[in-house]
C-alpha cells in the first residue's frame, strides 16, 4: 500500500526536476502538438524527420552544434550535464509532446546539455528554419513553443534555487520521501520499502552531489533511525525524521 508522504508525483522521481515537479507549482509538461488541428499537425509532420532510439541511446551531446529541436512522440528523453571532471547531474526526464534540443530554437548554437533515451523512444527532428516558418503559419504551434520555453525556464530557476538553498542532506531526504510516494510498499519491519533499487551513484545524479556525499548522508540517516538499508534497498522507518532533515 502506497503512503502519500509528499504530494503525489505524476511520474517516477528520478531527478531534481521530478522533486520540483512533485512539490512545486510548475504544472504538467506542455505538449506542442496537442492543440493543433489535424491539418496543421499534418503540415508540421511533413517537415520533420522521424528518429527511433534504442534504450540509453544518445540523441545529442553536450557541446555539439544544435541545428533544430526534437519533439518527443513516444518514450522519454533524459537531459543531463557533465562537468569537466566527469561529474554528472540529471536535469529532467521529458515526456511525449515536449521538445528537447534548445534553448536556441531558431539558430545554430552549442548544446548545453546531453540528451539520451530512457527506453525505446521516437522523436521528430525539426530544423530551426522549418520551425520558424511553421510558427509564422500556425499560431497554436508558436504558442506551444512559448509555453514549453516558459516551462523550461521555471524548471531551470527552481533547479538553481534548490541547489543553492538546500543542503545535500535536505535534497536527499526530499528525494527519499518522493520515492516512497511513487515506489513505496509496506514492509514487515514496520517501515516503508522503496521497491525500486537505486545505486548510490543513481541517487547522486538525482540530487546533484557526489556518490561519496550520498553514501555519507545515507549512513547518517541510518544512524539516526530514519532509514534502514538492506541488500541495496532503502526502507524508510521514520518519515518524520526525513521531513526534519
% of the chain with per-residue pLDDT over 70:
88
Q: Which residue has the cell 557526489?
A: 210
Whether 106 shows a pLDDT value over 90: the answer reads no
pLDDT at res. 9: 34
Q: What is the predicted pLDDT for the residue at 1?
A: 35
Residue whose cell numbers read 538553498: 165
* Average of per-residue pLDDT values in the chain: 83
The predicted pLDDT at position 223 comes to 92
Which of 4-18, 45-59, 205-219 ranks highest by mean pLDDT? Answer: 45-59
Contact 135, 99 (CB under 8 A): no
CA–CA separation, 185 and 176 (whole Å): 13
Grid coordinates standing for 59? Answer: 540523441
pLDDT confidence of residue 17: 55
Q: Output the pLDDT for position 80.
A: 87
What does 8-27 look like in DSSP terms, one character per residue? PPSS---SHHHHHHHHSS--
Backbone angles phi, psi at 171, to 5 degrees: -65, -40
Whole-number pLDDT of residue 127: 95
- Identify the pLDDT of residue 5: 35
Residue 93: the pLDDT is 79
H-helix or E-strand containing 183?
Answer: helix 168-183
CA angle 68, 74, 78 (to 5 degrees): 65
pLDDT at 117 over 90: yes
> For the chain, what percent of residues have pLDDT higher than 90?
40
Q: Does the pLDDT at position 99 exceed 60?
A: yes
What confidence tier does 73 reach under pLDDT thresholds 50, 70, 90? Answer: very high
What's the CA gap between 176 and 243, in Å, rounded? 10
Q: Which is higher by pLDDT, 153 or 49?
A: 49
Contact between 194 and 233 (Cβ < 8 Å): yes
pLDDT at 4 over 50: no
Give the model's pLDDT for residue 8: 36
pLDDT 10s digits, 163-221 = 777 788 888 888 888 788 767 888 888 889 988 778 888 888 778 788 898 999 999 99
Please state the rounded mean pLDDT for residues 125-150: 94
Q: How many CB atoms lie within 10 A of CB 229?
A: 13
C-alpha cell of 44?
508540421
Determine the pLDDT at residue 18: 58
Amino acid at each position: 500500500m502506497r503512503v502519500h508522504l509528499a504530494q503525489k508525483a505524476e511520474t517516477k522521481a528520478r531527478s531534481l526536476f521530478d522533486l520540483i515537479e512533485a512539490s512545486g507549482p510548475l504544472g504538467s509538461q506542455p505538449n506542442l502538438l496537442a492543440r493543433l488541428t489535424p491539418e496543421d499537425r499534418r503540415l508540421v509532420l511533413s517537415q520533420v524527420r522521424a528518429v527511433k532510439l534504442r534504450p540509453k541511446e544518445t540523441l545529442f551531446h553536450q557541446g555539439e552544434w544544435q541545428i533544430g529541436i526534437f519533439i518527443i512522440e513516444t518514450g522519454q528523453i533524459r537531459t543531463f550535464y557533465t562537468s569537466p571532471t566527469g561529474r554528472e547531474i540529471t536535469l529532467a526526464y521529458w515526456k511525449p509532446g515536449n521538445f528537447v534540443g534548445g534553448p536556441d530554437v531558431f539558430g545554430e548554437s552549442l548544446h548545453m546539455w546531453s540528451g539520451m533515451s530512457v527506453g525505446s523512444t521516437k522523436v521528430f527532428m525539426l530544423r530551426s528554419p522549418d520551425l520558424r516558418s511553421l510558427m509564422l503559419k500556425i499560431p497554436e504551434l508558436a504558442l506551444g513553443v512559448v509555453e514549453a520555453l516558459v516551462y523550461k525556464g521555471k524548471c531551470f530557476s527552481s533547479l538553481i534555487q534548490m541547489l543553492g538553498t538546500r543542503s545535500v542532506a535536505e535534497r536527499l531526504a526530499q528525494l527519499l520521501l518522493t520515492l516512497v510516494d511513487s515506489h513505496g510498499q509496506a514492509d514487515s519491519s514496520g517501515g516503508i520499502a522503496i521497491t525500486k533499487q537505486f545505486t548510490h551513484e543513481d541517487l547522486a545524479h538525482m540530487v546533484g552531489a557526489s556518490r561519496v556525499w550520498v553514501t555519507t548522508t545515507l549512513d547518517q540517516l541510518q544512524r539516526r533511525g530514519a532509514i534502514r538499508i538492506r541488500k541495496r534497498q532503502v526502507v524508510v522507518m521514520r518519515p518524520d525524521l526525513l521531513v526534519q532533515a
